[in-house]
């Protein structure tokens, strides 16, 4: 009796599996296609986000740089005190409202000559090469330190570092990433459902009848039926 029950259970499991095999096989293949597409897009998204962060940084620096160039053109950079006073006036809400702090130092020794507001942390270390600006914004951070070299300040030995409030850059980058993720997710879902439909219509629905009509399956099913009849 246990042997008969085992054969009946095996036969019934094969019937159920044959009915559900198309859906399960289609879902499994589509899932891996969906996962691979997301992984590839993630690899593409990382450099795209870095380029967008660089563009946002350049936009913020360009706004302040226009004001700094105006100060240099007006000759307000003759002395360190005069330059720092002009920059402090620049940091008003009516001029550049994102400035949060400034440090003016010598380019050769990085000796701080004057500062106000939040102290910048970029471009003030003696180990950094003289005469070169090394400003960069760390993506998703809320502060951006922009550096102006002596050449950009009209010569001399002065280096200017301005700390900006980068919360606007952070919000802009988050919006950019959100839009890209929505587009990627939409394309991935479309490809997944399209793949499920195509697999079901063109591949699985043609392969399964061949499997169900195979000699092995027919012999196994007939053997099961004979056992049931003998026991009954």
pLDDT of 18 reads 44
pTM here is 0.66
Per-residue pLDDT averaged across 213-220, rounded?
A: 48
Q: Is the pLDDT of residue 82 over 50?
A: yes
Confidence of residue 196 (pLDDT cuts 50, 70, 90): confident
- Region of poorest pLDDT, from 1-10, 86-95, 139-148, 169-178: 1-10
More confident residue, 148 or 76: 148
Which residues, in sequence order, are CB contacts of 85 under 8 Å at separation 6+?
76
Per-residue pLDDT averaged across 188-198, rounded?
A: 79
Per-residue pLDDT averaged across 119-145, rounded?
A: 70
Q: What is the dihedral of CA 98, 101, 107, 111, to 10 degrees?
A: 180
Question: What sign does the dihedral 156-158-161-162 (CA atoms) show?
Answer: negative
Q: CA 63 → CA 34, 60, 67, 74, 162, distances in Å?
A: 43, 5, 7, 17, 12
CA distance 102 to 108: 18
Q: Is the pLDDT of residue 209 over 60?
A: no
Per-residue pLDDT averaged across 149-156, rounded?
A: 85
- For residues 79 and 106, the answer to whether their CB atoms sit within 8 Å is no
Main-chain phi, psi angles of 162, to 5 degrees: -115, 125
CA distance 64 to 166: 13
Mean pLDDT (the chain) is 75
Which H or E element spans position 100?
strand 99-106
pLDDT of 176 reads 93
């Amino acid at each position: 009796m246990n042997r008969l029950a085992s054969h009946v259970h095996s036969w019934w499991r094969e019937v159920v599996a044959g009915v559900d095999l198309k859906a399960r096989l289609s879902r499994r293949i589509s899932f891996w296609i969906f996962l691979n597409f997301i992984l590839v897009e993630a690899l593409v998204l990382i450099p795209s986000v870095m380029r967008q962060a660089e563009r946002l940084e350049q936009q913020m620096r360009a706004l302040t740089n226009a004001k700094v160039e105006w100060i240099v053109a007006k000759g307000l950079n003759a002395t360190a005190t005069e330059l720092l006073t002009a920059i402090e006036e620049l940091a008003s809400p009516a001029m550049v409202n994102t400035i949060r702090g400034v440090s003016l130092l010598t380019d050769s020794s990085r000796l701080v000559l004057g500062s106000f507001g939040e102290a910048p942390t970029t471009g003030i270390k003696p180990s950094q090469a003289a005469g070169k600006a090394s400003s960069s914004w760390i993506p998703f951070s809320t502060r951006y330190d922009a550096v102006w070299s002596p050449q950009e300040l009209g010569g001399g030995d002065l280096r200017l570092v301005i700390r900006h409030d980068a919360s606007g850059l952070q919000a802009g980058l988050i919006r950019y990433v959100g839009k890209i993720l929505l587009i990627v997710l939409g394309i991935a879902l479309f490809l997944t459902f399209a793949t499920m439909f195509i697999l079901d219509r063109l591949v699985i629905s043609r392969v399964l009848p061949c499997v169900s009509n195979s000699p092995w399956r027919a012999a196994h099913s007939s053997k099961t039926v004979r056992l049931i009849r003998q026991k009954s």
